[in-house]
Structure 1
Amino acid sequence: MAKPVSPRGLARGRVLDCAVALFAECGVHGTSLKMIAQRLGVSKAAVYYQFSSKEEIATEVLRPILEDVTRVIKIAEALPDWEARRAVACSGLVEMAIRHRQLAAVFVGDPAMPLIAPMELRAVTGELRKLLEGPEPDAQSRIAVAVFFAGMGNAVADPLLADIDDDELHGVLLDLSNRIVRPTTDGD
């Protein structure tokens, strides 16, 4: 009698779950396909059957974030004026960061991220920057957006803030984002 085989989707999910755990322990750079295979108790070839590289695994792990950012951009771009687009982009990004708080703890600050981040994610991040910076960004708006991205990413990933529940973190981040990333007017 032939041994039952699990569906490919289930096996891919197991590889992704294992990879996230190892990324959290060892970083993306410090995790190898061999380590993933050993942790799963399978051959390296079995992992290669599911994914061609560690970068492909990391890309799949990041896929929900990419889809969320794309959705936020589409919603924001449908609005009539820049201020409304900016507000929706800020709010959507904060909600997304809270929703993916556990992934942020794995990936934020990992030195391998700039090398493995999929081109799609870099592209949508660039679109999001444009929405937040405005139609004619000056140095202040560009710096404010950089501070917003870095600060939000670090806040949701910071283990010293893990005791703060999602609702409270959401409220504080939304308030801060509206103070950091806002249009400047003469006299501000």
Structure 2
Amino acid sequence: MPSDTKARIQAVARELFVEQGVQNTSLRQISERLGITKPALYYHFASRDDLVRSIVQPMVEDIERFVGDRGPGDPRALLDDYFELIWRHRDVLVMMIRELSTMSYLDLGTRMFDWRRQLIAMLLGPELTQEQHIRATVALGGMSDCAVEYAHLPLEVVKPTAVEAAAVVLGV
């Protein structure tokens, strides 16, 4: 479990990264907003890359656990749970979309496509037509887009519509 200072650094960094992008945020800006010295920040994080990785890693672990521990089941329940998962990490998704270079951390581009393939197989099975695969890509991508585009709205406003739309696209 991260120390209070470490968690505060991550929270402020996440906020600045979402506001102005990873590349446009300096460790100086983070330390100034926190009211700590840069050496104090370096005590917890060796570099900005180290800090970004620490912010992205919990999302990676949660998604890997989700696709690794879950088997095929009720598609609507899977869509519902998946939406809640991406909603919890919507700030990281916003960071990644705002600045695509963030996806290079932890090799996220490749991993995200692998996760999507695993989710599609859980939703619709391993043997898919091209049409089913395209529909599943639209459904899952659309849910991710909703978590980013409507991040400012309450979960209970966004989730029902996003999950229902994904279910309709998938025909489940």
What TM-score range do you get, normalising by the shorter chain? 0.7 to 0.9
Q: Is the 8 A contact 2:140 2:166 kept in 1?
A: no
The one-letter code of the counterpart of 1:132 is: I
Q: How does 1:6-45 map to 2 (within 5 A)?
A: 9-45=3-39
Q: How does 1:1-188 map to 2 (within 5 A)?
A: 9-77=3-71, 82=72, 84=73, 86-116=75-105, 118-119=106-107, 122-123=110-111, 126-133=114-121, 134-159=125-150, 162-163=152-153, 165-181=154-170
TM-superposed CA distance for 1:41, in Å, is: 3.0
The one-letter code of the counterpart of 1:26 is: Q
Q: State the SS of the aligned residue for 2:3.
A: helix
Q: State the SS of the aligned residue for 1:31.
A: coil
The one-letter code of the counterpart of 1:67 is: E
Rounded to whole Å, the distance in 2 between the matches of 1:128 and 1:88 is 16
The one-letter code of the counterpart of 1:12 is: K
Q: Is the 8 A contact 1:73 1:89 kept in 2?
A: no
RMSD: 3.0
Q: Tell me, which stretches of 5 or more residues in structure 2 are unaligned?
A: none
Rounded to whole Å, the distance in 2 between the matches of 1:138 and 1:109 is 33
Q: Tell me, which stretches of 5 or more residues in structure 1 are unaligned?
A: 1-7, 184-188
Deviations 1:148-178 (A, max 9, x none): 343222212225x734x31231111111121
Rounded to whole Å, the distance in 2 between the matches of 1:129 and 1:53 is 33
Q: Is the 8 A contact 1:141 1:181 kept in 2?
A: yes
Which of 106-115 and 10-19 deviates more? 106-115
Higher Rg of the two aligned structures: 1
Deviations 1:61-87 (A, max 9, x none): 22332232233223422xxxx4x2755
Distance 1:112 1:124, change over 3 A: closer
Q: Is the 8 A contact 1:105 1:157 kept in 2?
A: yes
Distance 1:149 1:131, change over 3 A: closer
Query: What TM-score do you get using the length of structure 1 for normalisation?
Result: 0.71
